Amino acid sequence: MNEKRNFLEELNHHQKAAVLNVDGPTLVVAGAGSGKTKVLTSKLAYIVDQKKAWPNQILCVTFTNKAAKEMRDRVSKMLINQKNSIPWLGTFHAISVKFLRRHAEAIGLKSNFTILDTEDQKKLIKNISKAENIDAKKISPQFILALIDRWKNKGFLPEDVKLSKKDIFDNQILKIYKIYQSKIRDLNACDFGDLILYCVKLFEQNQDIRKIYSNNFKYILVDEFQDTNFIQNKWLQLIVNKNQNICCVGDDDQSIYSWRGAEIKNFLSFDKVYPNCKIFRLEQNYRSTKNILDTASFLISNNKDRLGKKLWSEEKKGELVKLNCFKNGKDEARGVGDILEENIKNKNSLNDIAILVRAIYQTREFEERFLKIGINYRIVGGTKFYERAEVKDAICYLRIINQKFDDIAFERIVNKPRRGLGDSTMKLLHEFSSKNKICLEDSAHKLLLLNKFKPRVRPVIKQLLDLINNWRSQINKKKHYDLLKIILDESGYSAMLKNKKDLENENRLENLKELLRAMNDYDNLQGFLEHVALATSIDQEWEDEKVNIMTMHAAKGLEFNTVFLPGWEEGLFPHQKSLEEKGDLALEEERRLAYVGITRAKKNAYISFATQRIWHGEWLDSLPSRFVGELPDDSIEKNEEIVKDVSDDFDFNQDNLLENNDEYRSPGWARLKKKLLK
């Protein structure tokens, strides 16, 4: 039996049809868990096995090095009798580097050009900002680089960016972009954004070079096509051959990275760019039970911008998807913990369980609950709540006002936000403290009296000490969480995060809000600080099994036996800020994110929401997410016991609260409109 037959026989009817169609443009719409990678690797192996092209005549593009390695390993197993590697299999960036190394001079570089990492970029931007008298506290290097990267993803070099005079802020950054681009050219260097952009410019400006590659690559295969941005799609279009033998594989229902520049229209308009394309749908799912798939499919069917498909499985119906309502976030964490306890009793591996949140600050209540009941966990792609830098900073402010001998806390907060206190000032403080056997705070007071600080440093230190004394005097007058608000405002810490244009700062502010909510559970400052100390010192055996906690974005591509999806409330999910910025486009992407979350589950899925959350120290009512009203009754089991405590007639939607107003889109709105139209 030949090797070709072996790997083809492992495919279902639709997978096989997609593999065998090698000529002309092809779009494979591959649902979650439908064997996307299997189809792509089988197609590559088939082309080589059938001698339709030599391995070096196939371009295969992935998004991650991990995906490229997996594909390479799979193909080598399929083609046992062939030792040929696939030299042009890799990420967009890796392949672009190969192009540019060969043709560097055509775009004004030398072939030994350097690729700058993020730290190199930040350092360069900092130097430029300083030279241009731009306050890094107001416009951070991270924010500048993010905007530059966005321009590059759109195919814009500095001379291509068009702004009006009114865009004062963006014009400042454009000025930096021009200087930055000129400097990295002088360094014979590129950043990551340049790699693909320069390739596009190379092919656009040099038709002879472009023809070399379009003639060479008889077949182009693209993985995760729904995640491509403008410049990546342009890159592909420029090197596709005259026969248009390009096969793109992906899932429009899993397009969740628009904030990274991904454009779903690349996927949806494929048949317009390539009018003769053939579309294959992979709808058989090999991961999840029927009830999980029905729930996900019913939910995503509410999106308009999609090609459409219906996932199905030969698996049994399985457990109904559980929909739980809790009184508040703490009860939600307790409820999840109780279910985990049952899993442990039943010998189910914690490694096969995941909690998927919309926003990273949501991890706190689950972390606290798991620490309390002794369940090991890991934060995937992030840091544990009380170890996040901004949370530690705030807690150190609280520690120093609680007791002045906490030198570790004093040292952490003395220059946060930046107060211009350098190494020499800290060295003076430490030496005086050690010599006189007094704490750093007392040392600062003494050195002020002795006039030992530099003139520039003296008022800064005095102001900080006065603030600390003032805050300390309010410990017994203010609630501890109100005191923290005052500290964050008067220290300038809140302003630092609010004023600094940084894409990460929104998450930092949310984490601080969550910290304030956490403080509500404790009667006084001392009790809260003791809790934090114990929570952060608990010894966890990290080699043991652990529950996985991560954002839904981080979960894409993963699968677990059991998945928890908490916090399905309006404002949180779909996220209010996303809706305000992008409207219906954001709503559809948020729904795709819900779809991704549900389809990570193989056997059990738990969706939950709370009827109340604490905001700014006040209990506020929260509405179930509109996505809750879009779940199919046949596949859902509602937790009536919990609901009964909240409201005897609560039915997981807000139909009874609706007014006949198209602008108000609460759960059940679409269903109500259908009723009105009958």
Active site (annotated) includes residue 15 = no
The span from the CA of 483 to the CA of 475, in Å, is: 7
Which parts of 206-288 fold into alpha helices (H)?
207-216, 230-239, 265-268, 270-273
Task: Find residue 312's DSSP bridge partners.
Answer: 284
The span from the CA of 428 to the CA of 444, in Å, is: 9
Q: Are strands 560-565 and 547-551 parallel, antiparallel or unpaired?
A: unpaired
Active site (annotated) includes residue 508 = no
The span from the CA of 213 to the CA of 226, in Å, is: 24
Q: Which two tokens stand for residue 238?
A: 């420029």
Active site (annotated) includes residue 306 = no
CA distances from 226 to 31, 64, 552, 575 (A): 12, 14, 17, 22
Active site (annotated) includes residue 224 = yes
CB atoms within 10 A of CB 143: 19
3 state SS of 650: coil
3 state SS of 655: helix
224, 332, 390, 588: the active-site residue? 224
Sign of CA dihedral 302, 625, 592, 559: negative
592, 600, 602, 613: the active-site residue? 600
Cis before 158 (ω within 30)? no
The span from the CA of 541 to the CA of 205, in Å, is: 58
Active site (annotated) includes residue 530 = no
Active site (annotated) includes residue 36 = yes
Give the chain's end-to-end CA distance (angstroms, integer).
Answer: 61
3, 16, 37, 70: the active-site residue? 37
Helix 505-519 vs helix 480-490: crossing angle, to nearest 10: 150
254, 551, 562, 654: the active-site residue? 254
CB atoms within 10 A of CB 293: 28
15, 26, 36, 41: the active-site residue? 36
The span from the CA of 414 to the CA of 343, in Å, is: 46
Catalogue the active-site residues.
36-37, 223-224, 254, 600
